[in-house]
């Protein structure tokens, strides 16, 4: 049975993580294409910084003369080293798992357990970039990512990290019922509704979507559940859509702080 359940699980790009308290979180995992774009943006930023310092070194060489040309070259090599090995770790630590490129693409590095990225993990995953780059153009890293269910490269596997997509969610506005419930309508409902949290969530989802439904479709969907709720509460159901709106209004009234 366990093997059959494993085979029936959907194949997608969502990682499920269960905490020690048995609370499950789902993270959309970033695929190779999105990560390549983020890397390209970071590469452009690093290139711009290197060009800026090269221009400064050139001006210094012109002002002082050839005597400092060797110092200018050594200075640029130090900058190049810092950009190659310190850029990612610095930003990921400062921005909690994000670089400017990752931030632009809504990506974040977290541990495989869903915890925030630690400094040691960031250093380790970026140290392995050299291995992922081989033999050219991150070939090994792309092959490893394509074979991993969480699209991890070698550095992620060693450091115990993964890259997720942070979905931007807008705060939902308060539902407005038109026309507003009357005291008489609310008085016909029980003070404590015998509805589960999932049922109330389904009612709210219906009410938020009903503006985009036609009258016939709205009534069809409401009629699938409203009579069941009415029977459970011992009340009359004249208008299924209206009854669902009233149930949501009563539930919101009960949740409102005193």
pLDDT given at position 19 = 57
CB 88 within 8 A of CB 99: yes
Quote the mean pLDDT of the chain.
Answer: 82
Q: How confident is the model at residue 6 (pLDDT cuts 50, 70, 90)?
A: very low
pLDDT digits (tens, 9 = 90+) for 132-144: 988 888 899 889 9
Determine the 3-state secondary structure of 161 from DSSP. strand
Q: How confident is the model at residue 7 (pLDDT cuts 50, 70, 90)?
A: very low
Q: Which residues contact 173 (CB under 8 A, 6 or more apart)?
A: none
pLDDT given at position 144 = 92
Residue 11 pLDDT > 90 = no
Joined together, the tokens standing for residue 199 give 């049922």
Q: What is the mean pLDDT of residues 201-211?
A: 84
Joined together, the tokens standing for residue 231 give 């029977």
Task: Compare 183 and 43 and report the one with higher pLDDT.
Answer: 43
Residue percentage of the chain with pLDDT more than 70:
83
- For 28, the enclosing helix (H) or strand (E) is strand 24-28
- Comparing 4-18, 165-179, 219-233, 234-248, the range with the smallest average pLDDT is 4-18
Residue of 73, 170, 83, 156 whose CA lies nearest to 122 = 156
Joined together, the tokens standing for residue 213 give 């439904």
């Amino acid at each position: 049975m366990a093997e059959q359940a494993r085979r029936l699980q959907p194949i997608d790009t969502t990682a499920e993580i269960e905490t020690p308290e048995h609370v499950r979180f789902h993270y959309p995992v970033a695929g190779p294409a999105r990560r390549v774009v983020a890397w390209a943006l970071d590469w452009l930023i690093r290139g711009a910084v290197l060009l800026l310092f090269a221009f400064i070194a050139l001006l210094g060489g012109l002002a002082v003369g050839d005597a400092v040309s060797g110092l200018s070259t050594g200075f640029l090599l130090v900058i190049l080293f810092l950009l190659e090995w310190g850029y990612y770790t610095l930003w990921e630590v400062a921005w909690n798992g994000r670089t400017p490129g990752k931030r632009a693409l809504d990506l974040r590095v977290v541990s495989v357990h869903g915890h925030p990225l630690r400094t040691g993990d960031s250093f380790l995953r970026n140290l392995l970039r050299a291995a992922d780059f081989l033999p050219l153009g991150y070939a090994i890293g792309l092959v490893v990512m394509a074979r991993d269910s969480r699209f991890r490269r070698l550095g992620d596997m060693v450091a115990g990290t993964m890259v997720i997509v942070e979905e931007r969610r807008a705060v939902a506005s308060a539902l407005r019922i038109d026309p507003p419930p009357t005291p008489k309508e609310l008085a016909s409902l029980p003070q404590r509704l015998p509805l589960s949290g999932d049922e109330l969530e389904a009612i709210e989802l219906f009410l938020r979507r009903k503006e985009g439904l036609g009258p016939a479709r709205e009534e069809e969907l409401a009629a699938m559940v409203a009579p069941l709720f009415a029977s459970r509460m011992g009340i009359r159901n004249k208008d299924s859509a209206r009854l669902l709106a009233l149930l949501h209004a009563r539930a919101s009234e009960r949740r409102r702080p005193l």
